[in-house]
Chain A
Amino acid sequence: MIKIDQLYKDFGKLQVLKGISTSIKEGEVVAIIGPSGSGKSTFLRCINLLEKPTTGRIFINNQDITEKKTNIMDIRQNVGMVFQHFHLFPHMTVLGNLIYAPMKVKGQTKQEAEKLGLELLAKVGLSDKANEYPKRLSGGQKQRVAIARALAMQPEVMLFDEPTSALDPEMVKEVLDVMKSLAHTGMTMAIVTHEMGFAREVADRVLFLDGGKLVEDAPPQEFFTKPKSGRARDFLQKML
């Protein structure tokens, strides 16, 4: 479903991604872990072209999205993203957040968009908050709304960039639970996370990035019990 071929990304003189190649199958859940500054966010942001790859190619459904003639907006509609700091639209209600893009971008009617929006709110357990403003929600609730907002575009792939890192500890579980049930529906997911327990339980594969390189690419069992590289061993030692 997603194929990444020799992906390089520079910010001026700084080389952040140094030739990453991997692929993600349909329905697969991939956890991306690694030390701070290793390029995890940049990697994720290349997949929906929030960052423009310097060189290398990314295919989604066999379409090369790095080609000039691809419509970036079409790609982004199909690839949802959830951010560490939620980035809900503060001047819209929860339901307003959910229906804005489907109406504006996909041309759905208000009724269609609201129907889907309310269904999604029910799925993330926030039906009663439809008419609240984001300001009135807790962090965990905000992030669940952000997930629902991304899902409202009915994407085929979901990207998560440290979705629980900004949350108080007692709210982490409610968000992880939503992600877990999303994984069970067969959604293709790429998740940057520091939640090792979650990665181990939910991910089909773990990608370990270090210094802009893909150092390990293995099933969680293998990665967590016998990592091949010294870097991964050091990292796991610090994390666990």
Chain B
Amino acid sequence: MNLDFTSILPSLPYILRGIGVTLQIVALAGLLGFLLGIILSLFKISSIKVLGWFADIYTSIFRGTPLVLQLMIIYFGSPQILGYQIEPYVAAVLAFGLNSAAYISEIIRAGILAVDKGQSEAAMALGVPYRPMMLNIILPQALKNILPALMNEFITLTKESAIVTTIGVMDIMRRAYQVGADKYSFFEPLLLAGLIYYIMVMTLTILGKVIERRMRRGD
């Protein structure tokens, strides 16, 4: 196996700049997925059946079709859905956000149901209405329990984000691929991209562990 990284060295900054793009997409999509996931999870445990049905159908669609398909439908379908062509970057954030909302809503729902029923009873007995009870009493406890699962979801998001390359987003993956095409050698730049993804995932993993440990110490 002959490896030659010297020829791609000048392109290294170019590839590294993809980190920012990837991180931005993951952060925004993660935030969108998290907020939407909370709302969907509240729908799922709601006593209003229609809301529950909506959230269940939503989840089953986004979990039951390939992510790359969702991404392309949102990107190439935007002229027909919205009336104009959206940026690849925006399509990426939307697709990943909407998709991870489906998974995160399931995680949060399980987290809410795992909180001792006595907690909501104690809040109700004090005359606390439903909304502040959920926001101040139940969700903080649920989120603490599901932090590892949420962290996993963000890590998955980071890795899967590489498929945004298919709609032309200039992320790590696409930049590495371009450099490969330029130099007629894909192996080295792709290895480099792999290393970058790996380091990002490991960083997230360690970060998750630290946060978890800190929260554990808190109680």
Contact = CB atoms under 8 A, between A and B. Distances in A.
Contacts of A133: 218-219
Chain A interface size range: 20 to 34
A135 B218 CA distance: 10
A100 B140 CA distance: 14
A224 interface: no
B217 to A, nearest CB: 11
A87 B132 contact: no
Nearest to B118: A87
B141 A150 contact: no
Given A89-B137, A100-B136, A153 B127 contact: yes
A48 interface: yes
Contact of B119 (A74, A81, A87): A87
Chain B interface size range: 20 to 34
Given A90-B141, A133-B219, A101 B121 contact: no
Interface string B120-156: 0111111111001000110011001000000000000
B116 interface: yes
Given A73-B127, A76-B127, A91-B144, A83 B122 contact: yes
Contact of A91 (B118, B124, B132, B140): B140
Contacts of A149: 126
A88 B219 CA distance: 13
B144 to A, nearest CB: 7
Interface in A70-103: 73-77, 79-81, 83, 85, 87-91, 100-101
A73 B127 CA distance: 5
Interface of B: 116, 118-119, 121-129, 132, 136-137, 140-141, 144, 218-219
